[in-house]
Amino acid sequence: MTQKTILRALAGERLPVPPIWMMRQAGRYLPEYRATRAQAGDFLSLCYTPELAAEVTLQPIRRYGFDAAILFADILLIPQALGADVWFVTGEGPRLSTITDAAGVTALRPADQVHEKLAPVYETLRILSRELPRETTLIGFAGAPSTVATYMVAGRGTPDQGPAHAMKTADRVAFSALIDRITDATIEYLSAQIEAGAEVVKLFDSWAGSLKGQDFDDFALAPAKRIIAALKTRHPHIPVIAFPREAGPRYAGFAKATGADCVALDQSVAADWAAAHVQTDGCVQGNLNPALLVESGPRLVDETRRIARAFAGGPHIFNLGHGITPDADPDNVSRMIEALRG
């Protein structure tokens, strides 16, 4: 059997047509997702009901034939497994009980006790391993520690991640201890995902761009490096994609510094710059602006082809720079795929 295209790209192969998948490909822009989400009742129930989580993971594969399926879950399941209260307010986003000091960190559950709460996620992966088409790669994921910490400290999403930065300034030791606890739990979580059938894992560091200088080294690079090293020891053949979103110039060297097999690029990075400074170290993923899937115009096709051309000299997985938004037109996704493959 020829190897799956995503795995070939991750191994460093340049393919004539880049494989494609989309961040948030299972989501509210799809009517079939909204129907299953209504059946589940609320978002977290959808994440914790393996048959329904597998169903929404499969929906974009059936509709579009993407080269990869990403597990349907959320980065905030780890805080919950560590003992935080987590809930979602419709139309607003996540809410969590907060951690503000060393005592809060100490009270978290140990890393090897996260599996009980997360068992349904592993079951979703087992279902997907059986049901996905043979050519489709199954991607597992977790939030990177610093991004997960921003939600655990603030208790919600924030425009500037202010509360986490404030804790880091007030008590760097306690903040580092929080990062370490999330790092340990993430290693156990991603290992279990691989054992349940994930063929690739991705680390989402959505707020990496708010870390500067030494903070970027300590809280974006170092935890990613520790997670990837532990995974490579346990599962040497499983590729890792890292997404240090809005890292800007720090994208250069990120793969080498962390051991990631692929770096995912947000849309603020110029593709030509990334081809010269990031793709030289291995596979890159990205970086179409998700806003182009909302407007219906020629720019979508032009930009899709421009990005494919910019990265044509090396290994590339076509993707968006961030998740597709609920107001995107499902037909635009077909247009993007046609522009790439056709």
**How many whole angstroms separate alpha carbon 222 and alpha carbon 263?**
15
In the bound complex, what is the minimum distance in angstroms from residue 37's beta carbon to ligand CP3? 5
In whole angstroms, give the CA distance from residue 205 to residue 75: 10
Binding segment toward ligand CP3, per CB under 6 A, in 8-16, 23-31, 231-239, 258-266: 23-31
| Residue 306: active-site member | no
Q: Which stretch binds ligand CP3 (CB under 6 A): 24-32, 105-113, 184-192, 291-299?
A: 24-32
243 vs 255: CA distance, rounded Å: 10
58, 65 contact by CB (below 8 A): no
Q: Please pick, from the candidates 30, 54, 70, 275, the single residue that binds ligand CP3 as defined by CB under 6 A.
A: 70
> Please, which of residues 106-145 interact with ligand CP3 by CB under 6 A?
141, 143
Q: Binding ligand CP3 by CB under 6 A: which of 93, 110, 133, 313?
A: 93
175 versus 204: smaller Cβ distance to ligand CP3: 204
Q: How many residues bind ligand CP3 (CB under 6 A)?
A: 21
Smallest distance from ligand CP3 to CB 283, Å: 18
Within 276-315, which residues bind ligand CP3 (CB under 6 A)?
none
Indicate which residue of 151, 205, 226, 335 is catalytic: 151
Alpha carbon distance 209, 44 (integer Å): 27
Rounded Cα distance, 235 and 3, in Å: 18
- Of the candidates 248, 253, 259, 323, which one interacts with ligand CP3 according to CB under 6 A? 323
Q: Which of 100, 158 has the CB closer to ligand CP3?
A: 158
Task: Please check whether residue 113 is in contact with residue 181, taking contact to mean a CB–CB distance below 8 angstroms.
Answer: no
Tokens, residue 158: 């924030």
Is residue 37 among the annotated active site residues?
Answer: yes
Residue 143, φ and ψ in degrees, nearest 5: -75, 145
H/E stretch holding 143? strand 137-143
Q: Do residues 210 and 165 lie in contact, with contact meaning Cβ atoms separated by under 8 Å?
A: yes
Catalytic residue among 14, 28, 95, 156: 28
Subset of residues 203 to 232 that bind ligand CP3, contact rule: CB under 6 A: 204, 206
Please give the DSSP secondary-structure letter assigned to residue 83. Answer: T
- The residue with tokens 């009901």 is 49
Residue 273 in contact with ligand CP3, rule: CB under 6 A: no
Residues 174-203 that bind ligand CP3 (CB under 6 A): none
The Cα–Cα gap between 219 and 214 comes to: 8
Measured from the CB atom, the residue of 71 and 284 that comes closer to ligand CP3 is: 71
Known catalytic residue: 122? Answer: no
134 is catalytic: no
Beta-bridged to residue 241, according to DSSP, are 202, 262
Q: From the DSSP assignment, how many helices (H) and strands (E) are in the chain? A: 16, 9
Provide the sign of the torsion angle of the four alpha carbons 130, 132, 134, 138, taken in this order. negative
- Close Cβ partners of 35 (under 8 Å, ≥ 6 residues apart): none
Among 8, 14, 43, 329, contact with ligand CP3 (rule: CB under 6 A): 43
Minimum CB distance to ligand CP3 smaller for 72 or for 318 = 72
Give the binding range for ligand CP3 (CB under 6 A) out of 72-80, 106-114, 268-276, 305-313: 72-80
Instruction: Tell me if residue 24 is catalytic.
Output: yes
User: What is the spatial distance between Cα 70 and Cα 319, in angstroms, rounded to a whole number?
Assistant: 12
Q: Which of 12, 120, 157, 314 is in the footprint of ligand CP3 by CB under 6 A?
A: 157
Considering only the stretches 8-16, 17-25, 118-126, 288-296, report the one whose residues sit in contact with ligand CP3 under the rule CB under 6 A: 17-25
Contacts of 114 (CB under 8 A, 6+ apart): 78, 81, 82, 185, 188, 189
Catalytic residues: 24, 28, 37, 74, 151
Question: Rule CB under 6 A: which residues touch ligand CP3?
Answer: 23-28, 37, 43, 70, 72, 74-76, 93-94, 141, 143, 157, 204, 206, 323
